[in-house]
A and B are shown apart, each in its own frame.
Chain A
Amino acid sequence: DAMVIQNPRYQVTQFGKPVTLSCSQTLNHNVMYWYQQKSSQAPKLLFHYYDKDFNNEADTPDNFQSRRPNTSFCFLDIRSPGLGDAAMYLCATSRDLGDNEKLFFGSGTQLSVL
C-alpha cells in the first residue's frame, strides 16, 4: 500500500492560473518535503515542514506556497504558474531530521503549464 500519496498524477494548468497539488501520508512522519524536479535535473528542495514549523529554502520563489493543515496532509500552491514551473513535483516524508533519516517519496505530480 502506498504510504505517501500524491494527487493527481498528472496536472495541467494554464499560464497564470493558480494550482494546488496535494500530498498525504499514512506514516505519521514529522517531516514533509516538497521537491521540484525538471527534466534531467536533480530534485530541488522547495520547502519542508517539521510538524507545523515551515522552513522555506532561500531560493524558492514567492510564487510557491505550502500548507500543512494536519500531520497527514501537505499542499503545494502555485499562485501564478509560469511556463518555467512545468516539472515533476515530489512530496516526501521522513520520521525526523536526524542524520540517517530516510526519505519516503510519493509517486509525484507531473505539472504541465499551457
Chain B
Amino acid sequence: RKEVEQDPGPFNVPEGATVAFNCTYSNSASQSFFWYRQDCRKEPKLLMSVYSSGNEDGRFTAQLNRASQYISLLIRDSKLSDSATYLCVVKGSSNTGKLIFGQGTTLQVKP
C-alpha cells in the first residue's frame, strides 16, 4: 500500500463548478499535511497547509480527518487557471523533514 494515495483523475469540470479531491495516508502518526499545486513540467508550489480544524483560503478549503486518515481539498467556483495537478503531501512523525508526496490528482477546468 502506498504511504499517500490519491485518485490520479483526471477530473474534468466546467468553469464555476465545485470539485473535491481526497487523499488517504497510511501512517497514523503523521503530523503535518499540505496541498501542493504542480503545473505541467513545472515545480510543485505550496497551495496550503492543512490544519486539524480545517482551513480556508479564498475558494480553497482543506480538511483533515485523522480518524479516517484522509485529507480533502475543495475548490469552489473553478477557474480555467485552476487546471493543474494537486499533490497531497504528508510529513511523518519524526523530525526528519521527510515529506511524502502523493501521485497527484489532475484537474482540467473547461470553458
Contact = CB atoms under 8 A, between A and B. Distances in A.
Interface of B: 4, 8, 31-32, 34, 41-46, 49, 87, 91, 95-104
Contacts, number: 57
Interface residues of A, number: 28
Most buried by A among B32, B34, B41, B44: B44
Contacts of B31: 99
B97 A42 contact: no
Interface of A: 31, 33, 35, 40-45, 48, 50, 55, 88, 90, 94, 96-103, 105-108, 110
Given A40-B103, A42-B87, A100-B32, A31 B97 contact: yes
Closest 9 CB pairs of A and B: A97-B97, A105-B43, A42-B101, A99-B32, A43-B101, A42-B103, A99-B31, A108-B43, A107-B43
A17 to B, nearest CB: 24
B95 A55 contact: no
A8 to B, nearest CB: 14
